[in-house]
Amino acid sequence: MSKLLEVKNNVLKGGKHYLTSDYKTRNGERSTHNGMDFVGPNGVDDIIAIEEGTITYTGYDSSGGGYWIGITTNNIQHRYFHLKKESFKVSKGDKISKGQVIATMGSTGNATANCLHFAIYKNGYVDPKPYLMNEDPFGLNNVNSYKMFVKDLQAAIGANVDGIAGPETLSKTPTISTSTGWNHKAVRPLQIYLKSLGYDLGKCGVDGQFGKDMKACIKKYQTDNKLPIIDGKISAKMYTWKKLLKLD
């Protein structure tokens, strides 16, 4: 019936997850099953947060989920159902870290025995399995690399260094192109950021220089983001900077 599932990101303390019912298991009524059901080796196991985030829900679901907790990370909510009410260790608004115990397994709601129903809500329910298996399922590395990019860029262009991009940061952005900015200090943080987004920097890699490879890379970025001008040049205060700084 239940099988041990090897996961990279734990939702049960101790890391042993026995899958009793999968997402959308295709046997009649279970096809609407919007998460995965787990039991642990102890009968009643502590539930831990799969990723750092903010507690955005603690309460009761009358449609069968019982007592549950929702945690939001990078606009994606991870939901833990059938919890034991008296075991709640967190409150709405709390910031919690990956692996932190949030509650204990229970059987509240429509559950026949102690278990965890784990679900992922992202504009509707999606299969939780990739979130259990992938290194960075919530895109936190991208969030962190963006913050680092903004800070390093602000330092390079003489803007106020607070890691938050706004009109002041944008007002100090320079024009960088193969003809104007080969060695501009802003190029290195830009290259590190583009690389973290998966862009190919060509043979030169992160070298702090805006050469032909960077021109091609920026053209690709402008094309991918459907910017109005595709010229491989980053003009001061314009579209490409706005997109890079998420100010558009």
Q: Which residues bind Zn ion (CB under 5 A)?
A: 37, 117
Shortest Å, Cβ 104 to Zn ion? 17
Question: In 3D, which of 3, 13, 6 has the Cα closest to residue 105?
Answer: 13
Nearer to Zn ion, 78 or 117 (CB): 117
In sequence order, which residues have a C-beta less than 8 Å from that of residue 72 and are 6 or more positions away?
A: 53, 54, 56, 78
Nearer to Zn ion, 126 or 204 (CB): 126
What gap in Å lies between CA 246 and CA 248, rounded to an integer? 6
Q: Are 103 and 85 in contact (CB under 8 A)?
A: no
Shortest Å, Cβ 10 to Zn ion? 18
Tokens of 180: 């104007």
Question: In 3D, which of 182, 177, 153 has the Cα closest to residue 165?
Answer: 153
Nearer to Zn ion, 33 or 233 (CB): 33
CA 248 remoteness from chain centre:
20
Q: Are 57 and 86 in contact (CB under 8 A)?
A: no
**Residue number of the CB atom closest to Zn ion:** 117
Shortest Å, Cβ 61 to Zn ion? 12
Q: Are 86 and 103 in contact (CB under 8 A)?
A: no
Torsion angle, alpha carbons of 205, 240, 237, 180, to 10: 40
Nearer to Zn ion, 25 or 178 (CB): 25
Shortest Å, Cβ 102 to Zn ion? 18
3 state DSSP class of 214: helix
Nearer to Zn ion, 37 or 51 (CB): 37
Shortest Å, Cβ 164 to Zn ion? 40
Shortest Å, Cβ 129 to Zn ion? 14
Nearer to Zn ion, 37 or 152 (CB): 37
